[in-house]
Amino acid sequence: MKRIPHISALMTAFPWHLDIDTPAQEARRFMQDHELHHLPVTSGGSEVAGIVDATQLPNGASGSLRELVHP
């Protein structure tokens, strides 16, 4: 019987995140610099508004993460 791993073995304790008003190009650079494919987006400090995927941020993307993240 397989054992289910403890969540701490799978999750990052303090993940990177960006504010929902971060410009899309800044988010794209941040994700490239840190080799991230997915990134939590927060609103109001620590409330998670959603997750952005690197494929949502093509070169030349404009606006902020607010336009890309949907509850």
Q: Is 23 exposed, middle or buried (0-12, 13-18, 19+ CB in 10 A)?
A: middle
Q: Provide the residue ranges of all domains of the chain, joining segments of one domain with +.
A: 15-67
pTM: 0.77
Q: Per residue of the chain (71 residues), what is the pLDDT tens digit?
A: 788 888 888 887 778 999 999 999 999 999 999 999 999 999 987 799 999 999 988 888 889 999 988 76
pLDDT at residue number 71: 65
Using DSSP's 3-state secondary structure scheme, residue 9 falls into helix
Rounded Cα–Cα distance for residues 26 and 32 (Å): 10
Q: Is CATH 3.30.1310.10 the right assignment for the domain spanning 15-67?
A: no
